[in-house]
């Protein structure tokens, strides 16, 4: 009789423990889930990946006469890169205005220090053979970041780079010019998901073992 009572008790406990929730984070760009590039093992800092030399960025993701935006992840920290033009590619001279609002973080790097502004506004000017841009980082675990791009000159394309599996080579460029919008928002929010616990696996094993013994006795 005790054995018959024990089996439903174990099953009930199993259902409770396997409904434990884990927390994962979702990153979105303009409301769509996207992937960041995983810089762990590639660079020791966001600035190192920007690879500022020859007065230009050298990430390998730049496009001539265009602005590219992408998200980087390093040691569970996130950064947003915005880069205009491509070095030594025959591009045109240009300029770009940026207005930033964010729930946390700050501009951690800019091509030219005199382009930084405490008001959240930046203005970039570049020669045809060079890039310009910046990195925004230092976010809290959950954040919202919005930038409005304006005062375009010498810019023919505008792209967001999504990394499908977080690696270089998995990138996919979304053409943003076609959406006729110059305001872009990146957000990271926590989301609870059901996940089995270690206790749940143990109870599952115990339940199966007990059921086997009951059948054997019969």
pLDDT tens for 141-171 read 999 999 999 888 999 999 999 999 999 999 9
What is the CB neighbour count within 10 angstroms for residue 164? 11
* Least confidently predicted of 63-72, 106-115, 128-137, 159-168: 106-115
Q: Which of 10-24, 29-43, 167-181, 186-200 has the highest mean pLDDT?
A: 29-43
Q: Which of 2, 11, 15, 43 is nearest to 137 (CA)?
A: 43
Q: What is the mean pLDDT of residues 67-85?
A: 97
CA-based R_g, the chain, Å? 25
Q: What pLDDT does residue 195 have?
A: 52
Torsion angles phi and psi, residue 34, rounded to 5: -135, 170
Q: Please check the confidence at residue 14 and state whether its pLDDT lies above 60.
A: no
Average pLDDT over residues 130-137: 96
Q: Are 164 and 197 in contact (CB under 8 A)?
A: no
Among 32-41, 57-66, 134-143, 169-178, where is mean pLDDT lowest? 169-178
Which residue reads 């979304």 in tokens?
A: 174
Kindly report, residue by residue over 160-211, the tens digit of the pLDDT.
Answer: 999 999 999 999 999 997 656 789 999 999 876 555 554 444 444 455 444 5
Residue with the bigger pLDDT between 120 and 48: it is 48
Q: Contact, 186 vs 103, CB < 8 A?
A: no
CA distances from residue 205 to 11, 21, 208, 211 in whole angstroms, order as listed = 11, 21, 5, 10
User: What whole-number distance in Å separates Cα of residue 154 and Cα of residue 67?
Assistant: 10
Is 1's pLDDT higher than 80? no
Q: Tell me which residue of 53, 75, 31, 40 sits closest to 183, measured CA to CA.
A: 31
Note the pLDDT of residue 203.
45
Match 């073992």 to its residue by tokens. 209
Q: Can you give the pTM of this predicted structure? A: 0.79
């Amino acid at each position: 009789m005790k054995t018959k009572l024990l089996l439903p008790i174990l099953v009930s406990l199993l259902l409770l423990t396997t409904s434990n929730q884990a927390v994962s984070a979702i990153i979105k760009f303009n409301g769509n889930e996207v992937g960041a590039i995983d810089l762990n093992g590639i660079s020791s800092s966001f600035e190192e990946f920007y690879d500022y030399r020859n007065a230009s960025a050298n990430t390998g993701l730049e496009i001539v006469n265009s602005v590219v935006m992408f998200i980087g992840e390093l040691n569970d920290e996130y950064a947003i890169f915005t880069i205009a033009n491509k070095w030594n590619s025959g591009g045109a001279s240009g300029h770009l205005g940026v207005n930033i609002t964010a729930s946390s973080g700050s501009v951690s790097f800019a091509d030219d220090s005199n382009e930084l502004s405490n008001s959240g506004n930046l203005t970039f000017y570049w020669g045809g053979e060079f890039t310009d841009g910046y990195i925004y980082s230092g976010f809290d675990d959950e954040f919202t970041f919005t930038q409005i791009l304006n005062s375009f000159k010498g810019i023919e394309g505008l792209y967001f780079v999504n990394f499908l599996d977080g690696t270089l080579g998995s990138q996919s460029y979304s053409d943003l010019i076609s959406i006729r919008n110059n305001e872009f928002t990146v957000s990271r929010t926590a989301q609870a998901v059901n996940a089995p616990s270690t206790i749940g696996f143990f109870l599952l094993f115990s339940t199966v073992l007990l059921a086997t013994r009951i059948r054997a006795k019969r």
